[in-house]
Protein backbone atom coordinates (compact mmCIF):
# COMPACT_ATOMS: atom_id res chain seq x y z
CA UNK A 1 0.00 0.00 0.00
CA UNK A 2 1.12 3.55 -0.75
CA UNK A 3 -0.04 6.71 1.04
CA UNK A 4 -1.38 9.04 -1.65
CA UNK A 5 -3.37 11.67 0.28
CA UNK A 6 -3.27 13.16 3.78
CA UNK A 7 -5.66 15.50 5.60
CA UNK A 8 -3.81 17.73 8.08
CA UNK A 9 -4.70 21.23 9.25
CA UNK A 10 -1.79 21.92 11.59
CA UNK A 11 1.20 23.43 9.75
CA UNK A 12 3.69 21.31 11.66
CA UNK A 13 1.81 18.13 10.86
CA UNK A 14 1.67 19.08 7.18
CA UNK A 15 5.44 19.45 7.11
CA UNK A 16 5.77 16.08 8.84
CA UNK A 17 3.37 14.43 6.36
CA UNK A 18 5.24 15.84 3.38
CA UNK A 19 8.48 14.44 4.77
CA UNK A 20 7.01 11.04 5.61
CA UNK A 21 5.18 10.55 2.31
CA UNK A 22 6.78 12.58 -0.53
CA UNK A 23 4.37 12.94 -3.41
CA UNK A 24 1.21 12.51 -1.33
CA UNK A 25 -1.45 15.20 -1.86
CA UNK A 26 -2.11 17.31 1.25
CA UNK A 27 -5.64 18.50 2.07
CA UNK A 28 -6.92 20.92 4.71
CA UNK A 29 -10.15 19.05 5.42
CA UNK A 30 -12.00 15.80 4.80
CA UNK A 31 -14.55 17.13 2.24
CA UNK A 32 -11.70 18.37 0.02
CA UNK A 33 -10.07 14.96 0.04
CA UNK A 34 -13.35 13.14 -0.59
CA UNK A 35 -13.85 15.32 -3.66
CA UNK A 36 -10.83 13.56 -5.21
CA UNK A 37 -11.90 9.87 -4.98
CA UNK A 38 -9.57 8.75 -7.76
CA UNK A 39 -6.53 9.37 -5.54
CA UNK A 40 -7.05 6.42 -3.20
CA UNK A 41 -8.72 3.05 -2.63
CA UNK A 42 -8.92 3.12 1.19
CA UNK A 43 -9.39 5.86 3.79
CA UNK A 44 -7.79 5.58 7.24
CA UNK A 45 -9.61 7.70 9.84
CA UNK A 46 -7.18 8.56 12.64
CA UNK A 47 -8.64 11.88 13.75
CA UNK A 48 -9.40 12.72 17.42
CA UNK A 49 -11.96 10.32 18.89
CA UNK A 50 -14.70 12.94 19.17
CA UNK A 51 -14.60 13.33 15.35
CA UNK A 52 -14.66 9.63 14.42
CA UNK A 53 -18.43 9.39 13.95
CA UNK A 54 -18.59 12.58 11.84
CA UNK A 55 -15.70 11.54 9.60
CA UNK A 56 -16.93 7.94 9.28
CA UNK A 57 -20.34 9.22 8.16
CA UNK A 58 -18.77 11.44 5.50
CA UNK A 59 -16.61 8.61 4.14
CA UNK A 60 -19.60 6.23 4.18
CA UNK A 61 -21.61 8.67 2.05
CA UNK A 62 -18.65 8.87 -0.36
CA UNK A 63 -18.69 5.07 -0.58
CA UNK A 64 -14.99 4.52 0.04
CA UNK A 65 -13.85 1.55 2.17
CA UNK A 66 -12.21 2.72 5.38
CA UNK A 67 -10.27 1.77 8.49
CA UNK A 68 -11.60 3.56 11.58
CA UNK A 69 -9.36 4.00 14.60
CA UNK A 70 -10.68 2.92 17.98
CA UNK A 71 -12.94 3.89 19.61
CA UNK A 72 -15.26 4.04 16.61
CA UNK A 73 -17.35 6.57 18.58
CA UNK A 74 -17.51 8.05 22.07
CA UNK A 75 -20.74 6.22 23.04
CA UNK A 76 -22.41 2.95 22.12
CA UNK A 77 -25.41 4.74 20.57
CA UNK A 78 -23.08 6.75 18.34
CA UNK A 79 -21.12 3.58 17.48
CA UNK A 80 -24.32 1.87 16.34
CA UNK A 81 -25.09 4.88 14.13
CA UNK A 82 -21.64 4.61 12.51
CA UNK A 83 -22.28 0.96 11.64
CA UNK A 84 -25.80 1.71 10.42
CA UNK A 85 -24.60 4.56 8.14
CA UNK A 86 -21.92 2.35 6.56
CA UNK A 87 -24.42 -0.47 6.10
CA UNK A 88 -27.03 1.82 4.53
CA UNK A 89 -24.54 3.05 1.91
CA UNK A 90 -22.97 -0.38 1.40
CA UNK A 91 -19.56 0.95 2.45
CA UNK A 92 -17.28 -1.70 4.00
CA UNK A 93 -15.08 -0.77 6.94
CA UNK A 94 -12.96 -2.30 9.65
CA UNK A 95 -11.56 -1.08 12.97
CA UNK A 96 -7.94 -0.50 13.94
CA UNK A 97 -7.72 -2.90 16.88
CA UNK A 98 -4.05 -3.53 16.17
CA UNK A 99 -3.44 -4.81 19.71
CA UNK A 100 -4.97 -8.11 18.68
CA UNK A 101 -1.62 -8.65 16.99
CA UNK A 102 0.54 -7.83 20.03
CA UNK A 103 3.15 -10.55 20.74
CA UNK A 104 1.71 -11.12 24.23
CA UNK A 105 -1.81 -11.48 22.82
CA UNK A 106 -0.74 -13.98 20.15
CA UNK A 107 1.38 -15.93 22.65
CA UNK A 108 -1.39 -16.03 25.24
CA UNK A 109 -3.98 -17.17 22.68
CA UNK A 110 -1.71 -20.05 21.63
CA UNK A 111 -1.08 -20.93 25.28
CA UNK A 112 -4.81 -21.05 25.97
CA UNK A 113 -5.39 -23.20 22.87
CA UNK A 114 -2.86 -25.72 24.18
CA UNK A 115 -4.61 -25.82 27.55
CA UNK A 116 -1.38 -25.25 29.50
CA UNK A 117 -3.14 -23.04 32.06
CA UNK A 118 -6.01 -25.45 32.69
CA UNK A 119 -9.30 -23.71 33.44
CA UNK A 120 -8.66 -19.94 33.58
CA UNK A 121 -10.48 -17.95 36.24
CA UNK A 122 -8.71 -14.54 36.21
CA UNK A 123 -7.19 -12.27 33.55
CA UNK A 124 -5.24 -9.20 34.64
CA UNK A 125 -3.63 -6.54 32.46
CA UNK A 126 -1.95 -3.25 33.42
CA UNK A 127 -1.41 -0.48 30.87
CA UNK A 128 0.37 2.02 33.07
CA UNK A 129 2.84 4.86 32.55
CA UNK A 130 4.86 7.22 34.65
CA UNK A 131 3.93 10.69 33.30
CA UNK A 132 3.96 13.11 36.23
CA UNK A 133 3.96 15.93 33.69
CA UNK A 134 0.95 15.38 31.38
CA UNK A 135 1.29 15.85 27.65
CA UNK A 136 -0.62 18.84 26.30
CA UNK A 137 -2.80 17.29 23.60
CA UNK A 138 -6.42 16.38 22.95
CA UNK A 139 -6.07 12.88 24.45
CA UNK A 140 -5.45 14.44 27.86
CA UNK A 141 -7.68 17.52 27.56
CA UNK A 142 -10.69 16.78 25.35
CA UNK A 143 -13.67 16.35 27.69
CA UNK A 144 -15.64 14.44 25.02
CA UNK A 145 -13.09 12.20 23.29
CA UNK A 146 -10.11 12.24 25.64
CA UNK A 147 -9.18 10.27 28.74
CA UNK A 148 -7.79 6.80 29.27
CA UNK A 149 -11.18 5.08 29.31
CA UNK A 150 -11.60 5.93 25.60
CA UNK A 151 -7.90 5.79 24.72
CA UNK A 152 -6.66 2.55 26.32
CA UNK A 153 -10.00 1.14 27.48
CA UNK A 154 -11.04 -0.11 24.00
CA UNK A 155 -7.79 -2.07 23.64
CA UNK A 156 -8.05 -3.56 27.12
CA UNK A 157 -11.70 -4.56 26.72
CA UNK A 158 -11.23 -5.90 23.19
CA UNK A 159 -8.23 -7.99 24.27
CA UNK A 160 -10.19 -9.50 27.16
CA UNK A 161 -13.28 -10.31 25.10
CA UNK A 162 -11.25 -11.82 22.27
CA UNK A 163 -9.67 -14.21 24.76
CA UNK A 164 -12.52 -14.93 27.18
CA UNK A 165 -15.78 -14.09 25.45
CA UNK A 166 -18.61 -11.59 25.91
CA UNK A 167 -18.94 -9.37 28.97
CA UNK A 168 -22.16 -9.56 30.97
CA UNK A 169 -21.41 -7.14 33.85
CA UNK A 170 -18.91 -4.37 34.64
CA UNK A 171 -17.59 -2.65 37.74
CA UNK A 172 -15.40 0.44 37.23
CA UNK A 173 -13.52 3.14 39.10
CA UNK A 174 -12.14 6.20 37.30
CA UNK A 175 -10.30 9.30 38.51
CA UNK A 176 -8.72 12.43 37.05
CA UNK A 177 -5.48 12.82 39.00
CA UNK A 178 -3.36 15.07 36.78
CA UNK A 179 -5.49 15.86 33.71
CA UNK A 180 -9.02 17.23 33.06
CA UNK A 181 -10.06 13.77 31.82
CA UNK A 182 -9.65 10.44 33.63
CA UNK A 183 -6.04 9.26 33.82
CA UNK A 184 -6.65 6.48 36.36
CA UNK A 185 -8.98 3.64 35.31
CA UNK A 186 -9.82 0.28 36.89
CA UNK A 187 -12.26 -2.13 35.23
CA UNK A 188 -13.62 -5.46 36.41
CA UNK A 189 -15.30 -7.42 33.62
CA UNK A 190 -17.45 -10.47 34.29
CA UNK A 191 -17.41 -12.68 31.22
CA UNK A 192 -20.30 -14.96 30.30
CA UNK A 193 -20.07 -18.43 31.77
CA UNK A 194 -19.30 -21.18 29.24
CA UNK A 195 -22.55 -22.28 27.67
CA UNK A 196 -24.66 -19.52 29.20
CA UNK A 197 -26.83 -17.15 27.21
CA UNK A 198 -24.86 -13.97 26.33
CA UNK A 199 -27.61 -11.66 27.60
CA UNK A 200 -27.60 -13.03 31.12
CA UNK A 201 -25.72 -11.32 33.92
CA UNK A 202 -23.25 -13.42 35.88
CA UNK A 203 -25.11 -14.85 38.85
CA UNK A 204 -28.48 -14.46 37.11
CA UNK A 205 -28.21 -17.38 34.72
CA UNK A 206 -31.48 -19.35 34.44
CA UNK A 207 -31.36 -22.32 36.77
CA UNK A 208 -28.84 -20.71 39.11
CA UNK A 209 -28.65 -22.71 42.34
CA UNK A 210 -29.86 -21.12 45.57
CA UNK A 211 -28.30 -21.71 48.96
CA UNK A 212 -30.96 -24.33 49.68
CA UNK A 213 -30.19 -26.09 46.40
CA UNK A 214 -26.48 -26.30 47.31
CA UNK A 215 -27.37 -27.90 50.65
CA UNK A 216 -29.30 -30.59 48.78
CA UNK A 217 -26.48 -31.23 46.32
CA UNK A 218 -27.54 -29.28 43.21
CA UNK A 219 -24.42 -28.24 41.28
CA UNK A 220 -24.12 -24.43 40.85
CA UNK A 221 -23.51 -23.24 37.26
CA UNK A 222 -20.03 -22.62 35.92
CA UNK A 223 -18.72 -19.10 36.31
CA UNK A 224 -17.03 -17.12 33.59
CA UNK A 225 -13.57 -15.55 33.70
CA UNK A 226 -13.16 -12.28 35.60
CA UNK A 227 -10.90 -9.69 33.93
CA UNK A 228 -9.26 -6.97 36.03
CA UNK A 229 -7.87 -4.18 33.86
CA UNK A 230 -5.85 -1.11 34.84
CA UNK A 231 -4.89 2.01 32.86
CA UNK A 232 -2.97 4.87 34.47
CA UNK A 233 -0.63 7.75 33.64
CA UNK A 234 0.53 8.58 37.18
CA UNK A 235 2.01 5.18 38.05
CA UNK A 236 5.58 5.25 39.36
CA UNK A 237 5.91 1.45 39.31
CA UNK A 238 4.04 0.13 36.23
CA UNK A 239 3.21 -3.54 35.88
CA UNK A 240 3.44 -6.43 35.85
CA UNK A 241 1.87 -6.11 32.41
CA UNK A 242 -0.18 -9.33 32.13
CA UNK A 243 -1.08 -12.10 34.55
CA UNK A 244 -3.48 -14.91 33.66
CA UNK A 245 -4.43 -17.39 36.38
CA UNK A 246 -5.77 -20.91 35.88
CA UNK A 247 -5.95 -24.13 37.85
CA UNK A 248 -2.99 -25.45 35.83
CA UNK A 249 -0.64 -22.47 36.21
CA UNK A 250 -0.23 -18.80 35.28
CA UNK A 251 0.98 -16.77 32.32
CA UNK A 252 3.12 -13.77 33.28
CA UNK A 253 4.43 -10.84 31.21
CA UNK A 254 6.38 -8.36 33.31
CA UNK A 255 6.86 -5.31 31.08
CA UNK A 256 5.41 -3.84 27.89
CA UNK A 257 7.07 -2.25 24.87
CA UNK A 258 9.07 0.85 25.86
CA UNK A 259 7.08 1.70 29.00
CA UNK A 260 9.46 1.85 31.96
CA UNK A 261 8.88 -0.79 34.62
CA UNK A 262 10.80 -2.11 37.64
CA UNK A 263 10.08 -5.58 36.23
CA UNK A 264 12.15 -5.01 33.06
CA UNK A 265 15.04 -7.02 34.50
CA UNK A 266 12.93 -10.19 34.65
CA UNK A 267 11.94 -10.01 30.99
CA UNK A 268 15.61 -9.37 30.16
CA UNK A 269 16.20 -13.03 30.96
CA UNK A 270 13.73 -14.08 28.26
CA UNK A 271 15.25 -16.44 25.64
CA UNK A 272 14.96 -15.38 21.99
CA UNK A 273 11.76 -16.52 20.31
CA UNK A 274 9.73 -16.53 23.52
CA UNK A 275 7.37 -14.06 25.20
CA UNK A 276 6.36 -14.24 28.85
CA UNK A 277 6.51 -17.09 31.34
CA UNK A 278 4.43 -20.10 32.27
CA UNK A 279 4.61 -19.99 36.07
CA UNK A 280 3.75 -22.55 38.72
CA UNK A 281 4.86 -21.20 42.08
CA UNK A 282 8.67 -20.82 41.89
CA UNK A 283 8.83 -22.80 38.67
CA UNK A 284 8.82 -20.72 35.47
CA UNK A 285 9.21 -21.72 31.83
CA UNK A 286 9.55 -19.34 28.85
CA UNK A 287 6.62 -19.53 26.43
CA UNK A 288 7.28 -19.85 22.67
CA UNK A 289 6.07 -16.84 20.69
CA UNK A 290 4.04 -17.53 17.51
CA UNK A 291 4.87 -15.74 14.31
CA UNK A 292 3.00 -12.50 13.66
CA UNK A 293 2.85 -8.84 14.64
CA UNK A 294 1.24 -5.46 14.00
CA UNK A 295 2.06 -5.42 10.28
CA UNK A 296 -0.31 -8.36 9.86
CA UNK A 297 -3.27 -6.01 10.33
CA UNK A 298 -2.71 -4.09 7.10
CA UNK A 299 -1.70 -7.28 5.27
CA UNK A 300 -5.13 -8.59 6.26
CA UNK A 301 -6.75 -5.31 5.11
CA UNK A 302 -5.11 -5.72 1.69
CA UNK A 303 -6.38 -9.31 1.39
CA UNK A 304 -9.87 -8.15 2.38
CA UNK A 305 -9.94 -5.22 -0.10
CA UNK A 306 -8.68 -7.41 -2.94
CA UNK A 307 -11.39 -9.99 -2.25
CA UNK A 308 -8.99 -12.77 -1.26
CA UNK A 309 -10.89 -13.05 2.04
CA UNK A 310 -14.52 -12.11 2.68
CA UNK A 311 -14.38 -10.90 6.27
CA UNK A 312 -12.61 -7.74 7.51
CA UNK A 313 -9.68 -8.10 9.94
CA UNK A 314 -11.87 -6.69 12.74
CA UNK A 315 -15.66 -6.93 12.68
CA UNK A 316 -17.18 -3.49 13.48
CA UNK A 317 -19.79 -5.29 15.59
CA UNK A 318 -16.99 -6.15 18.02
CA UNK A 319 -16.23 -2.45 18.43
CA UNK A 320 -19.91 -1.72 19.13
CA UNK A 321 -19.92 -4.32 21.90
CA UNK A 322 -16.76 -2.77 23.33
CA UNK A 323 -18.49 0.63 23.33
CA UNK A 324 -21.39 -0.90 25.25
CA UNK A 325 -18.96 -2.19 27.89
CA UNK A 326 -17.36 1.27 28.19
CA UNK A 327 -20.80 2.91 28.55
CA UNK A 328 -21.55 0.50 31.38
CA UNK A 329 -18.17 1.33 32.94
CA UNK A 330 -19.00 5.05 32.97
CA UNK A 331 -22.29 4.34 34.69
CA UNK A 332 -20.62 2.02 37.19
CA UNK A 333 -17.96 4.62 38.05
CA UNK A 334 -20.66 7.27 38.60
CA UNK A 335 -22.90 5.10 40.75
CA UNK A 336 -20.38 2.80 42.42
CA UNK A 337 -22.08 -0.45 41.50
CA UNK A 338 -21.91 -3.49 39.23
CA UNK A 339 -23.71 -2.72 35.94
CA UNK A 340 -25.19 -5.28 33.53
CA UNK A 341 -24.12 -5.07 29.89
Please, which residues have CB within 8 angstroms of residue 268's CB and are 6 or more apart in sequence?
none
pLDDT value for 259: 74
pLDDT value for 38: 94
Beta-strand pair 66-69/43-45:
parallel
**Where do the H-state alpha helices sit in 185-275?**
211-215, 264-267
Q: Residue 189: in which H helix or E strand, if any?
A: strand 184-191
Q: Are residues 287 and 300 in the same domain?
A: no
Q: Are residues 12 and 110 in the same domain?
A: no
Asked whether the beta carbons of 65 and 93 are under 8 A apart, the reply is yes
Is the overall model pTM greater than 0.75, yes or no? Answer: yes
In a domain, 118, yes or no: yes
pLDDT value for 222: 63
pLDDT value for 68: 98
Q: Are residues 71 and 182 in the same domain?
A: no
In a domain, 131, yes or no: yes
Q: Are residues 17 and 104 in the same domain?
A: no
Q: Are residues 48 and 126 in the same domain?
A: no
| Parent domain of 19 | 5-97+295-311
Q: Are residues 56 and 104 in the same domain?
A: no
pLDDT value for 317: 97
Q: Are residues 123 and 245 in the same domain?
A: yes
pLDDT value for 158: 98
Domains identified in the chain, total number: 2
Q: Are residues 134 and 91 in the same domain?
A: no
Q: Are residues 168 and 248 in the same domain?
A: yes
Beta-strand pair 226-232/120-128:
parallel
CATH assignment at residue 137 = 3.30.360.10
In a domain, 319, yes or no: no
In a domain, 231, yes or no: yes
pLDDT value for 198: 52
pLDDT value for 136: 87
Give the number of residues written for the chain: 341
What is the residue-level pLDDT of the chain in tens, covering all 341 positions?
899 999 999 999 999 999 999 999 999 999 999 999 999 999 999 999 999 999 999 999 999 999 999 999 999 999 999 999 999 999 999 999 999 999 999 999 999 999 999 999 999 999 999 999 999 898 998 989 999 999 999 999 999 999 999 999 999 999 999 999 999 999 999 999 987 755 443 333 333 333 444 444 444 456 899 999 999 999 998 889 999 999 999 999 988 887 777 777 777 678 999 999 999 999 999 999 999 998 999 999 999 999 999 999 999 999 999 999 999 999 999 999 999 99
Q: Are residues 226 and 137 in the same domain?
A: yes
pLDDT value for 203: 37
| CA–CA separation, 138 and 221 (whole Å) | 45
In a domain, 31, yes or no: yes
Q: Are residues 81 and 180 in the same domain?
A: no
pLDDT value for 213: 43
Q: Are residues 141 and 278 in the same domain?
A: yes
Amino acid sequence: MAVTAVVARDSGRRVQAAGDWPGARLFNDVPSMLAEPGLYDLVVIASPSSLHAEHASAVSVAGKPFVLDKPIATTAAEARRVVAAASASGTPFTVFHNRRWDPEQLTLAALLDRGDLGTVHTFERHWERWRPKPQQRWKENDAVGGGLLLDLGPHLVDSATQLFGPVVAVYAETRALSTPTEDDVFLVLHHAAPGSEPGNRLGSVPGRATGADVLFGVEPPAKGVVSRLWAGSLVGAPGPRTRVLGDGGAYLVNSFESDASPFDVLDGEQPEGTHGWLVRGRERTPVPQPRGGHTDFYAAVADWLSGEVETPPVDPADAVRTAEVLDAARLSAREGRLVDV
